[in-house]
Amino acid sequence: MSQARCGTVRRRSKSFDGLILATLIVAVLLVGGAMSSARARETVSFDNYPPGIIVIRSGERRLYFTLGQGTAIRYPVAVGKHGHAWAGLAHIEGKFVRPAWSPPPEVKRDIPSLPDVIPGGSPHNPMGERALTLDRDEIAIHGTNARMRASVGTAASYGCIRMYNEDVIDLYDRVQVGTPVLVLP
């Protein structure tokens, strides 16, 4: 007959306790980071525009998708850096899921080590999960890769509008080819 051995408790090592604590901290940071970017997208008051228009206020580093009745969804974005910012009216010309990216000549000139094409879905592809191309030369509203995620909220691009991947997926599902895009200073 086997007998249970009560009172024999194996103590965990301090390194194991540290590993558990580190795992919990990482989990909290990941959940908190996901929640903070989700909170960044919000519905706000936004007058004077009909529903279904994208308005980008470059100075605010914000993109608004108008819902009508004086409201819009507001997303944080990266806009064109000095010398690459633009303003005006454009329209969505194409919608792409995990697109391949070919660096425009100016980008290739500045970063000659870039390959001619970066496949869609590659962690090195700066287009991220979705791209909404505009009827302006080499300009799109698109997601980001992990390296460029921190640029959202700044003036950092060659003219494109960068969004968090989760936000560009949300916007992609709301718009269609032909949607007007008004970019303001």
Catalytic residues: 142, 160
Q: Which residue's entry shows tokens 């895009």?
A: 181
Which of 110-124 are b and which e, b meaning 16 or more Cβ less than 10 Å from the residue's Cβ?
eeeebeeebebeeee
Asked whether 121 and 130 are in contact (CB, 8 A), the reply is: no
Question: Based on the number of CB atoms within 10 Å of its own CB, is 154 exposed (0-12), middle (13-18) or buried (19 or more)?
Answer: middle
